[in-house]
Amino acid sequence: MSARELTRDLVAIPSHDDETAAGDRIESWLREQTDAGVERDDHGNVIARRNEGAPTSLALVGHHDVVPPDDSQVDGDGYVLDERDGRLYGRGSADMKGAVAAAMTAFRDATDLDCELVFVSFVGEEDGGVGARAAIEDGFAPDYAIVGEGTTGYSAAGVTDVAVAHKGRRGSTIRASGTAAHASEVERGENAIYRASDAIDVVRDLEFPTTEVLGHEVQGSVAVTEIEGGSAWNVIPESCEVTVDERTVPDERAPLSRVEDIEGVTWHVDQDLPPMACDVPDFADLVLGAAADAQDGDPEQVVKPHATDAGWLSRAGTTCVICGAAEPGEAHTADESVAYDVVDRCATIYQTAAEQF
């Protein structure tokens, strides 16, 4: 079975509410098509290993959960698939079942391995990486990994690049408290919205975190994205909450705790998805070379703007790069699609990298 055929099979299986059926298909295919050791862990992750016992391990990493589909992408209990102009349209085609299929066929077809080759498809990536985090807590620890999130079209249209870093996301809430009073007697109250406004001024003045990864500048950002406070038009507000979206970079964070210097203001981290930085230039160069051999274009090392499971793996000690079929703007859309020739290309990149590793 080709990567294209497998992509169609996987995309047809709904996996936004429950990843079980998609995991079943991945597991059964690996058992039928390879002689690898295959396991389904207690969390639903599918993990397969070839050449076990080799001193160094390389993992091909994906996830088989998807975000909820648009109404147009559902027909009864199944997903709608459409093939035209060399592309497969359907929920999960770009993010990221095309790359999962490419990794599965590369895992099957790679020969003359000098490493332990691992395939893993996680659950719950779209829910904060719960599958990857659980596997890591259970001891999943490959030395190196190629994560199949999208890197096609970053340096030039149609070119599949290799990401050596990505930003993380820290979402947090600033809470300002005050004392309620009638708005006609402002001196009797402490205005929580004013205190929140002072905190917003602190956030506005923060410098964006920056770092460098393998010669590439990675710049984060900090932005206030929501504000909620007050109870009535004639009441001095006693509470106000402000949401902050921070795009983090490796080893740097914006000093948001400074807002707590303001009386009545506290700061709480709600989510912290880690960034990723490749720490072994030779590994990044090896995968870039495989990418160059697999296409006519000239791939480059690039930086992705958003978090992936590579962040969790990197934080746990795995050296990661990202290389995948999805293009910017495809994931999570009503017309999500993936190019078949790029799925084939990714399968070749993964296989070549594994054989040369």
Kindly list the catalytic residues: 65, 125
Other CB atoms within a 10 A radius of the CB of residue 108 amount to 22
CA dist 72 → 37, 65, 126 (Å): 39, 19, 20
HEC-encoded secondary structure of the chain: CCHHHHHHHHHCCCCCCCCHHHHHHHHHHHHHHCCCEEEECCCCCEEEEECCCCCCEEEEEEECCCCCCCHHHEECCEECCEEECCEEECCCHHHHHHHHHHHHHHHHHCCCCCCEEEEEEECCHHHCCHHHHHHHHCCCCCCEEEECCCCECCCCCCCECEEEEECEEEEEEEEEECECEECCCHHHCECHHHHHHHHHHHHHHCCCCEEEECCEEEECEEEEEEEEECCCCCEECCEEEEEEEEEEECCECCCHHHHHHCCCEEEEEEEEECCEECCCHHHHHHHHHHHHHCCCCCCCEEEECCCCHHHHHHHCCCEEEECCCCCCCCCCCCCCEEEHHHHHHHHHHHHHHHHHC
CA within 13 Å, CB half, 234: 2
**Residue pair 70/82 in contact by the 8 Å Cβ criterion:** no
Q: Of 88, 108, 104, which Cα lies nearest the Cα of 11?
A: 88
Q: Of 265, 238, 261, which Cα lies nearest the Cα of 176?
A: 265
CA within 13 Å, CB half, 282: 2
